[in-house]
Structure 1
């Protein structure tokens, strides 16, 4: 089986450790275990004392039920048996698509998005049609175009809400429109929701799994809960046929998640309201910093993100995005992700939910770097 190079992960693998100012990071500023236990109001000593007496067997095969009970509270219609834990959201995306997609199946995916959503189906021999999200349409799916992309052979429609890398949040009316399109042809609607709840406004963010009987969603502890080190994600669906297939395939590549990972995730999920309050404050304050910076920089523009931790910054420099980001890193220590990783050019993905001072310093150095490029070049766009 051949699969395309995972461009964004390859870029991060090669460059993340070189950065002094990592404003490519997509998680909300990660917490320590000490901070986690403080937020949860739990004794770290008691937790680890009890854990140290447990035999290190496999974890719960279908996932820690205490953890899954807390995860279910993130949705309106999901119960414990509608959730299966996975090795991160990457493992969840792979498992779900591996379980559902067969050669010659018709699949629709939005782009730009996380590359798994189209490269994995392609690797299994699916016929993937790409629904291009555009800056002019604020990176929201065009329902009229989507209708022309589907038919009775469409097996899965893949979306990402909130969107990575753009930070676009699909309005509820549009989301319901996508559901109706999927329902009209009997397709699964698969949605990567790992940035859900990191919105710029208060209110309940609707989930595909609550809106559609064939909805399948993915979440994780990494982005929203600042615990990427746990490598713990999940798939949620009310559809019994999809869940049976997922469980069948999961036996081949997962068996169970780590006992320690799930125990710590359960502590975090018990304190989800406090963690979400902390992280909502970070993304709102940091986006205000980024927004003010963009407004005052003559060579930059963007579609202001509505949710999540990332945005696509467009820059008026006539240089391929990978060359731009490599030069920026080498000369300033600032790490961004090239737009080419998402099949976009003259832009790059920024992650603005990092430490506030790191964001400010990284942006300052980015602005000065572009000023030097412009002043030394006779070919700005």
Structure 2
């Protein structure tokens, strides 16, 4: 099995040393600093693994269930702490999919599942979210795509990269679609909690015996560098299989990541952190929406949740060429081309990152680059 690079990661690798002066499209909240946690850290903490449970610190797993609304629905034994949501997705897909199995994916969507499915030799069926439909997931198309051959359905909710949300009735219908053929339903929830209208959708691990929820502290809390995430599943066999595979990859968790994540998810810290993230994200989203509205020939479907969305470029502008031009002098501004999500006529617009990303400067330079683009 050989994992081939996806365009999203390829572009990030190619531009790592570019040193932009502004970023438009930052995908996580402003990151805290280590000093914010020092008062709660024990200087005598051994820098070994947690010495208590291979699934992760018990109190951290309790917090994971609480923030997902699954306390009393799932148990701590249903939770495995992982190196981010990416590892949680990896462990799940690698243990459940075999060559020749069928996986149903959404597009645009988080590309990790497609990359792994191709490497495994699985058959891929895509359900298309269309901009003309507000990027909503067409449940009738999903229903037609899922057959007796379907082993897994992979979705993100809120959707990465469009920011659209599947509510409870939609999720319950998707569960019925999956259950009809006994398919696993894996839902990546890294942006959950950053809904701009309405309540957070329920986590699928609490709705379906083959439901798997993955998430992390990376996006809403800005703690990407901790590399701390989780998978939640009521199926004990799946969780054990994930532990076995992790034993042969990362083996054990990063103790500092576990400890700081546990502090960050304590209720008395989580609530104000999420409130700040929602306040800052909503303010930046309003600025972004006003800016997009003011641009001739640029449009987007405003995200209903999360920190990113897709902006449609004027006709005739390729997203890769435009992103590279924007990164060069005199603009020195980074954004991710829509080709990273199989949408080459779009660019990823984001409202995360705080003051350090210089969003206003980036938007000004982005507007200038659009105006300067050859007709």
Please tell me the TM-score bracket, short chain as reference: over 0.9
**Cα distance in 1 for residues equivalent to 2:371 and 2:161:** 25
Q: CA deviation at 1:25?
A: 2.1
Which of 60, 64, 74 is matched with 1:67 structurally?
A: 60
Q: Superposed, which structure 2 residues align to 1:262-281 within 5 Å?
A: 262-270=258-266, 271-281=269-279
The equivalent residue for 2:245 is 249
- 2:372 match: 372
| Matches for 1:20-169 after TM superposition, within 5 Å | 20-35=21-36, 37=37, 44-45=38-39, 47-51=41-45, 54-57=46-49, 60-74=53-67, 75-76=69-70, 77-169=73-165
Q: TM-score, normalised by structure 1?
A: 0.92
Give the whole-Å Cα distance in 2 for the aligned partners of 1:139 and 1:211.
Answer: 24
Once the two structures are superposed, the pairs formed by residues 164-313 of structure 1 within 5 Å of their partners are 164-270=160-266, 271-313=269-311
Flag the 1:55–1:353 CA change in 2: closer, same or farther, 3 A.
Answer: closer
The answer to whether the 8 Å contact 2:227/2:257 transfers is yes
Question: 1:265-310: CA deviations, max 9, x gaps?
Answer: 1111112112111111111111000011111111210011000110
Classify 1:326/1:221 alpha carbon distance in 2 versus 1 (closer, same or farther; 3 Å): same
Measured on the aligned residues, the alpha-carbon RMSD in Å equals 1.7
Contact kept in structure 2, 1:16 and 1:22, CA below 8 Å: no
- How far 1:202 sits from its partner (Å)? 4.9
The separation in 1 between residues aligned to 2:108 and 2:40, in whole angstroms, is 45
1:5 corresponds in structure 2 to 5
C-alpha distance in 1 between matches for 2:263 and 2:298:
41
Q: Secondary structure at the match of 2:192?
A: coil
For 1:12 and 1:22, locate their aligned partners in 2 and report how far apart those are by CA, in whole Å: 13
TM-score, scaled relative to structure 2: 0.93
Q: How many residues align?
A: 366
Query: Unaligned 5+ residue runs, structure 2?
Result: none
**1:130 aligned counterpart, secondary structure:** strand
Query: After alignment, is 358-367 or 187-196 more displaced?
Result: 358-367
Q: Distance in 1 between matches of 2:254 and 2:5?
A: 28
Paired with 2:257 and 2:233, the residues of 1 have a C-alpha distance of 22
Corresponding residue of 1:358: 358
Range with bigger deviation, 7-16 or 343-352: 7-16
Q: Could you tell me how far 1:56 is from its partner in structure 2?
A: 2.8
Cα distance in 1 for residues equivalent to 2:16 and 2:163: 21
Partner SS state of residue 41, structure 2: helix
1:127-151 deviation digits (Å, cap 9, x = unpaired): 1111111101222221111121112
Q: Distance in 1 between matches of 2:200 and 2:147?
A: 32
What is the Cα deviation at residue 358 of structure 1? 1.3
